[in-house]
């Protein structure tokens, strides 16, 4: 937990659902975390967790075949030093019970994104998506 | 992502540059795999890679495993601090050949 008091802040941005948006998602996060004055090491970890969650939307919720105009929204908010990152998308409904990472000792390509998210964040929660959204993922971290 | 390849004897040194994410993994594989398939020892220099996600880590694992299959080695060199942190988070520092 950081000793710095971070200013309350909320910001959101929409991105096209495709792999080339991932760098834009990272840039957005870095900009917001600069404003929140989050220290460098933690910022890198948070950017990784958020980019992995966005990647899961592209890869799994849309199976790499979203329509060219399909959007996902990333919202970053900080209140009372609690960081909350929300994702909204209209892909295939996610069954939280099926979201799991591979056994970490079973070394093979793939299955690490969810592991990274869980390692970095305090909580990962799938909520009911309110129209027009289908999936609503919320990641939280106490700063 | 950009890259530079130099070959000297049986060693192919590949310098990757930029951020390695899902968007560039196919390109990274196209650059790396042919050298492993050709039985070269591959030195993968990551000093200019400041960001790597799980897709990039998968490329490292796949390269390492392909190297073992082909009876050669993939050595990962000059890893930046930020990428090393991700490799360690994935508990791969004892698995991959890091120098």
- Tell me the CATH number at A118: 3.30.565.10
B21–A19 C-beta distance less than 8 A = yes
- Is residue A124 situated within a structural domain? yes
A3 in any annotated domain? no
* pLDDT score of A97 more than 90: no
Number of domains, chain A:
1
Put simply, the answer to whether A19 touches B23 (Cβ < 8 Å) is yes
Q: Does B88 touch chain A (CB under 8 A)?
A: no
Report if residue A32 sits inside a domain. yes
Across A55-102, the runs of DSSP E, i.e. the strands, are 71-79, 82-89
d(CA A117, CA B50): 19
For chain B, which ranges sit under pLDDT 70?
none
Read off the pLDDT of residues A2-26 as tens digits, 9 standing for 90 and up: 667 888 899 999 999 999 999 999 9
Q: Say whether residue B83 is in contact with chain A using an 8 A CB cutoff.
A: no
How high is the pLDDT of residue A65? Answer: 80
Place of tokens 């492993």: B36
Per-residue model confidence as pLDDT tens digits over A50-73: 999 999 999 988 887 878 899 999
For B84, the domain range is 2-98
B91: nearest CA partner in chain A: A104
ipTM over 0.85? The verdict is: yes
All residues of chain B having their beta carbon less than 8 Å from the beta carbon of residue A23 are: 19, 21, 23
Domain residues for A135? 9-142
Task: Write down the mean pLDDT value for chain B.
Answer: 96
Q: Across the strands, what pairs with A126?
A: A137
DSSP A61: I
* Residue A136 located in a structural domain: yes
Sign (positive or negative) of CA dihedral A25, A64, B59, A100: positive
Would you say residue A1 lies in a domain?
A: no
Domain containing B20 — which CATH number? Answer: 3.30.750.24
Does a structural domain hold residue A27?
Answer: yes
Residue of B nearest to A21 (CA): B23
Report the SS3 class of residue B86.
helix
Structural domain tally of chain B?
1
* Residue A1 confidence (pLDDT) above 70: no
Task: Name B98's Cβ contacts closer than 8 Å, sequence gap at least 6.
Answer: B75, B76, B77, B79, B84, B87
B41 contacts chain A (CB < 8 A) = no
């Amino acid at each position: 937990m950081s000793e710095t008091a971070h200013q309350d802040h909320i910001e959101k941005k929409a991105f096209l659902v495709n792999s080339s948006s991932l760098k834009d998602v990272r840039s957005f996060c870095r900009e917001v975390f600069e404003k929140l004055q989050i220290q460098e090491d933690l910022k890198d970890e948070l950017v990784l967790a958020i980019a992995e969650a966005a990647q899961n939307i592209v890869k799994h919720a849309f199976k790499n075949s979203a329509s060219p105009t399909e959007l996902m929204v990333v919202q970053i908010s900080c209140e009372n030093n609690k960081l909350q990152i929300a994702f909204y998308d209209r892909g295939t409904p996610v069954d939280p019970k099926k979201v799991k990472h591979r056994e970490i000792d079973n070394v093979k390509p793939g299955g690490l994104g969810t592991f990274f998210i869980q390692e970095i964040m305090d909580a990962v929660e799938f909520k009911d998506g309110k129209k027009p959204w289908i999936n609503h993922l919320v990641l939280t971290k106490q700063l | 992502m950009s890259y530079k390849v130099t070959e000297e004897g049986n060693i192919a040194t590949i310098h990757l540059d930029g951020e390695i994410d899902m968007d560039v993994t196919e390109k990274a594989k196209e650059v790396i795999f042919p050298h492993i398939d050709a039985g070269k020892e591959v030195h993968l220099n990551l000093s200019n890679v400041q960001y790597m996600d799980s897709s990039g880590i998968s490329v490292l694992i796949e390269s390492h495993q392909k190297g073992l299959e082909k009876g050669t080695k993939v050595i990962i060199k000059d890893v930046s601090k930020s990428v090393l942190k991700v490799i360690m988070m994935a508990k791969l520092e004892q698995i991959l050949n890091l120098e």
